[in-house]
Amino acid sequence: MAGTPNQKQKTLYLLRILSERTDAEHALTVAEMSEALAKLGIESERKSIYRDLRALSDAGFSVGTVRSKDTRYYWQDRPLTRDDCVTLMHLLRVCSALPRKRKLELEKKIRAILPLPQQHSLRTPLLTVVSEGSVTERIYSNVELLYQAIRSGVCVRFTYKPSSLQEIFPRRQRSPRFQTVSPYRVIWSDGYYLIGADSEYDLVFYRVARMEGITLTNLPSADIRTVGGDLDFDLEQYIKGSFSALADLDHMIFRVSEGFLNVAERRFPTDSQVEPAEDGWCLLTCDAPADENLFGWLLQHSSEIRLIYPESLVLRLQTISSRSALDYGADDAAECGINFEENGKTVDKPYKMRYN
């Protein structure tokens, strides 16, 4: 038997038995290891198993022992403990950034790290998640394509679904156009976003859920330093300033022309709400940081979008633009039915549209 293929690989099979079946609580005696090898068609003597155990230890594999009436042996080289695996599985189940299928695949791989006795104990869930995340396989496939484009340094081409226009202006809906974008980073903030440079070299946030037909092009991505306008441009700081909870967010309402709505929605990274106003216009409500970048952008596109709430920010923007209150903010608010005063005092509270 010493010349059979399985016999020559006896040490490797012993290593497999130890790694798959043992831990400190489920160690095996030499006799049990010999029985397990026999089921694989490998005959072994006690002395040969002791030699194999010593060979494994000499090769750097950590084989632990449990001293009792019969000395037992187990596999020590485990990167994760059972408690570590339980923690990872809990994090997976509450994670909203992965589709359910991917979570189940990763749970299976995590369980495989542990020996069989512990794998069985993990099949009974300790945590039940009532509400699953909204990430679908399609969205996650889009994310993987964007990762590939960012690593390759090439532009992506896609159509951006104008969901708000479909719901609010169905008769005026335009067919989505293909866009070519230089991708720089994928971001998670209650949903996946891409930050990239559009054809005019402006940094724009795109909701991945609304991106369709993503393809990688042969065009190289624009240099982020060129887009940022500064050799020391820090993309991470730019993202944090736009997205993270570190930035102070103000509740704002904008009066936006129908044709500019998609541009406005891309400008604000947090989820926004759109409501119809007078003909050809709508109201865009969102939470965003009130900074110089926002004010400069609003002034640049003042014919398409106007800030109308809160009044304190309207006044700040009026000061920056050197416009009168009648030119910026007051008339726009009045046209939408917003009154900033009650009993002669300024009211600074969230505005809700009323419908007849």
* pTM higher than the cut 0.85: no
DSSP codes of every residue in 66-117? E-SSS-EEEE---SS-HHHHHHHHHHHHH-SSS-HHHHHHHHHHHHHTS-HH
Q: Can you tell me whether residue 3 is helix, strand or coil?
A: coil
Q: What is the pLDDT of residue 176?
A: 59
| Res. 347 pLDDT band, cuts 50 70 90 | very low
Measured distance CA(331)–CA(220) in Å, rounded? 46
Q: Are residues 301 and 322 in the same domain?
A: yes
Q: Are residues 195 and 157 in the same domain?
A: yes
Residue 129 lies in a domain: no
Residue 131 lies in a domain: no
- Taking alpha carbons only, the member of 223, 227, 212 closest to residue 179 is 212
Contact 36, 2 (CB under 8 A): no
Q: Are residues 222 and 169 in the same domain?
A: yes
Chain center to CA of 287: 20
Q: What is the pLDDT of residue 130?
A: 55
DSSP codes of every residue in 153-209? TEEEEEEE--HHHHHH-GGG--PPPEEEEEEEEEEESSSEEEEEE-TTS-EEEEEGG
The mean predicted confidence, pLDDT, of the chain is 78
Q: Which whole number is the average pLDDT over 268-279?
A: 76
Look at residue 192 and tell me whether its pLDDT is greater than 60.
yes
Residue 260 lies in a domain: yes
Residue 128 lies in a domain: no
For 284-293, the pLDDT digits (tens) are: 888 887 877 7
Measured distance CA(79)–CA(193) in Å, rounded? 33
Angle (deg, nearest 10), helices 311-321 and 292-300 = 70
Look at residue 225 and tell me whether its pLDDT is greater than 90.
no
Residue 61 lies in a domain: yes
Q: Are residues 289 and 323 in the same domain?
A: yes
Range of the domain at 302: 250-346
Number of domains in the chain: 4
Q: Are residues 234 and 141 in the same domain?
A: yes
Q: Are residues 220 and 264 in the same domain?
A: no
The lowest-confidence range among 40-44, 154-158, 186-190 is 186-190
Residue 126 lies in a domain: no
Q: What is the pLDDT of residue 81?
A: 79
Contact 313, 307 (CB under 8 A): yes
Q: Are residues 15 and 86 in the same domain?
A: no
Residue 307 lies in a domain: yes
Q: Are residues 98 and 61 in the same domain?
A: no
Q: What is the pLDDT of residue 171?
A: 46
